[in-house]
Amino acid sequence: MNRGDAAPASRGVRGALPLSLYVHLPWCLRKCPYCDFASHEWRADAGALPERRYVDALCADLEAALPSVWGRSVSTVFIGGGTPSLFSPEAIERLLTLARARLRIAPDAEVTLEANPGSFEAQRFAAYAQAGVNRISVGVQSFSDAALRALGRVHDARQARAALEEAVRSFARVNADLMFALPGQTLAELRADLESVLDFAPEHVSLYQLTIEPGTPFAKRPPALPDEELAADMFALLEDTMGGAGYERYEVSAWARPGARCRHNVNYWEFGDYLGVGAAAHGKLSFRDRIVRDERIAQPQRYMEAALSAAGGAAAIAARREPSCAELPFEFMLNALRLADGVPAALFEERTGMPLDAIARAREAAIGRGLLEPDPLRLRATARGRRFLNDLVALFLED
């Protein structure tokens, strides 16, 4: 069946999948020129952030979603943005308290908050930990002032170091975000960034290559980026440096010490379920007869008005769809093949409700091209497949 053919909806899944909660806090101090995320600048002249009203809207959104997740345990919570650390510790504590009152959040749940050094105050990190956050992700991006200016970041290298220093003091679980292949960046500059982040010994490091995304300021005025050969040398340097420091690359852009993988993101990549609340948040929930994806209203003011209207939180949903059998193989592989170890082949049927035979033709083609391992019990990209991941995943659009 090709993508253009009509296809029946998925048969759903067997049993309950792992469930995560994603909460989107959409504001930031400045929209970075490379960013295509759903985020909105909050100017100082606009007054205080509408923390209470927004958390009220999140609560109404959760209330409306309860029938879809009733009785299920939530294993991870991720508060992303935007810049969630613009919200006060008191607002984050209220949010988590309201969430725990409505959802069965597991006692050992991983609770992550994204933070930006530009909105960093030393006492806030300890207060976030007291509020119930147990994992923090700090958006460092670089320790070079010149690189940070080129990226349009609001913080400098001194603030980045101060934020990471306080993060490792306040949390046992710390992730640092770094970017590479930056405008004008050299191998020596990347090496200096890696050495700087390793000085803090975070348990997890996310390493993203800068790419030019459509619709961003960088797309209109592209900066001069390292050429393909230099970018490849940079990736080789990443592998040597991070591997030598005891980190394992377990996903395309994620490196972790043993036992420190981001459980929330692994659930996405293994095609688990997630409830998304907040402006522009996406969700995926599985039932015995179908899989449902939904998307909240993107504009924050409209989202709050809808969620707090007489119609309730359900009014905040802008779109809802059920992926067809023609779409599910691609959606599953797009996530699962990002993992260095891939996933057990049986997970395809468990998470999509479709038989493994449904992808037999595409799987054989991928193996024949040297993009997928010929292991009958595992779906895992080869080294070549990881290099040409888009080509590999595209094969599953055509089955």
**In this prediction, what percent of the chain has a pLDDT beyond 70?**
95
Residue 149, phi-psi category: left (phi > 0), alpha (psi -120 to 50), beta (remainder)? alpha
Could you tell me if 232 and 336 lie in one domain? no
Whether pLDDT at 119 is above 70: no
**Range with the poorest average pLDDT among 10-19, 90-99, 132-141:** 10-19
Could you tell me if 372 and 262 lie in one domain? no
Whether pLDDT at 5 is above 70: no
**Range with the poorest average pLDDT among 25-34, 80-89, 142-151:** 25-34
Could you tell me if 262 and 336 lie in one domain? no
Q: Is residue 309 part of a domain?
A: no
> Cβ of 383: how many Cβ atoms within 10 Å?
9
Q: Is residue 9 part of a domain?
A: no
pLDDT attached to residue 120: 67
Could you tell me if 258 and 341 lie in one domain? no
**In this prediction, what percent of the chain has a pLDDT beyond 90?**
84
Q: Is residue 11 part of a domain?
A: no
Burial (CB count <10 Å: 0-12, 13-18, 19+), residue 295: middle
Rounded CA-CA distance 347/133 in Å is 30
pLDDT attached to residue 217: 87
Whether pLDDT at 330 is above 70: yes
In this prediction, residues 327-356 reach a mean pLDDT of: 96
Could you tell me if 24 and 126 lie in one domain? yes
Q: Is residue 212 part of a domain?
A: yes
Q: Is residue 292 part of a domain?
A: no
Phi, psi of 16, deg, nearest 5? -90, 130
Total tally of structural domains belonging to the chain: 2
Whether pLDDT at 219 is above 60: yes
Helix axes 228-244, 187-199, angle to 10 degrees: 30
* Torsion over CA: 181, 183, 185, 191 (sign): negative
Q: Which residues contact 297 (CB under 8 A, 6 or more apart)?
A: 279, 280, 303, 306, 316, 317, 318
Q: Is residue 251 part of a domain?
A: yes
Could you tell me if 346 and 260 lie in one domain? no
Could you tell me if 49 and 143 lie in one domain? yes
The whole-chain average pLDDT of the chain stands at 93
At 257 the three-state DSSP class reads coil
Q: Which residues constitute the domain of residue 189?
A: 19-268
Q: Is residue 299 part of a domain?
A: no
pLDDT attached to residue 260: 98
CATH at residue 73: 3.20.20.70
Could you tell me if 251 and 358 lie in one domain? no
pLDDT in tens, 159-177: 999 999 999 999 999 999 9
Whether pLDDT at 121 is above 90: no
Q: Is residue 220 part of a domain?
A: yes
Domain stops at, among 221, 252, 268: 268
pLDDT in tens, 345-383: 999 999 999 999 999 999 999 999 999 999 999 999 999
pLDDT attached to residue 80: 96
In this prediction, residues 215-225 reach a mean pLDDT of: 89
Buried b (16+ CB within 10 A) or exposed e, 199-233: ebebbbbbbebbeeeeebebeeeeeebbeeeebee
pLDDT attached to residue 7: 41
- Spatial CA neighbour of 269 closest among 324, 332, 326: 332
pLDDT in tens, 277-297: 999 999 999 998 899 999 999
pLDDT attached to residue 11: 54
Buried b (16+ CB within 10 A) or exposed e, 235-258: bebbeebbeeeebbbbbbbbbbee
**Range with the poorest average pLDDT among 4-18, 171-185, 235-249, 339-353:** 4-18
The DSSP element (H or E) to which 282 belongs, if any, is strand 282-286
Q: Under a CB-based contact definition with an 8 Å cutoff, are residues 87 and 111 in contact?
A: no
Q: Under a CB-based contact definition with an 8 Å cutoff, are residues 279 and 273 in contact?
A: no
Could you tell me if 168 and 257 lie in one domain? yes
Domain stops at, among 224, 244, 268: 268
pLDDT attached to residue 103: 97
Could you tell me if 335 and 223 lie in one domain? no
In this prediction, residues 249-274 reach a mean pLDDT of: 97
Could you tell me if 243 and 333 lie in one domain? no
Encode 122-182 in three state secondary structure.
HHHHHHHHHHCCCEEEEEEECCCHHHHHHCCCCCCHHHHHHHHHHHHHHCCEEEEEEEECC
**Residue with more model confidence, 220 or 392:** 392
Q: How far is CA 232 from CA 79, 95, 199, 207, 391, in A?
A: 33, 43, 24, 14, 18
CATH at residue 333: 1.10.10.10
Confidence of residue 344 (pLDDT cuts 50, 70, 90): very high
